[in-house]
Amino acid sequence: MNKQLLLLISLSMFLFSCNRKENKTSEFLKRYDKIRLISYATHRDVYSSQDELKIENDTIRIPNLKFIDNVVLNPHYAERITEVLLSTANECVLADCYNPRHLLLFYKKDKLVDFYEFCAECGGSRQSKNINFPEFCTDKGDKLIAIFKEMKLKNDGEEKENYKYF
């Protein structure tokens, strides 16, 4: 009898944790009508005021950068990417550089309301005040690179001959 009770409790806890993860992702996604993913040809100089992120007229302006990818995420990829970003790691590895190449733009009623910029290589990120993702670690970067490859993005986040981080 005790084994059955223990099994029932364990199964309930597992189902609750899975449902909670799904709810957390779903709740986050309900806040937005559209999520756009943009990637850059080169990293932007985050230490220069000339290359500052600017939101104007419900679009993002970043001087001196060429966008490589500019896609609206379908619900499947919006959910998968959000699950990665909402996840927490037991151990978090970060580099001391910040060379962002990807930017998520979050829209509500066709108005740009939030952003999340990150570097899949070093694990650094910046976000608008309404976004509260846990720390972005290199492990999350690896998971996003796999998703970006699946999406067949031109800039999938992996360093290559024509795509250097430095």
Q: Are residues 58 and 89 in the same domain?
A: yes
- Has residue 163 been placed in a domain? no
Q: Are residues 2 and 55 in the same domain?
A: no
Helix, strand, coil shares, percent, the chain, to 5: 35, 25, 40
Q: Are residues 4 and 55 in the same domain?
A: no
Q: How many domains are contained in the chain?
A: 2
Task: Please say whether the beta carbons of 130 and 93 come within 8 A.
Answer: no
pLDDT number for residue 116: 93
Q: How many other C-beta atoms lie within 10 A of the C-beta of residue 34?
A: 14
Task: Please say whether the beta carbons of 111 and 59 come within 8 A.
Answer: no
Q: Are residues 18 and 89 in the same domain?
A: no
- Residues 71-116: tens digit of each pLDDT: 999 999 999 999 999 998 777 766 666 677 899 999 999 899 999 9
pLDDT number for residue 7: 47
127, containing H or E segment: strand 125-127
- For the whole model, what pTM was predicted? 0.77
pLDDT number for residue 124: 78
The whole domain housing 86 covers 32-151
Q: Are residues 39 and 112 in the same domain?
A: yes
Q: Which residues of the chain have pLDDT under 70?
A: 1-22, 43-54, 93-98, 160-166
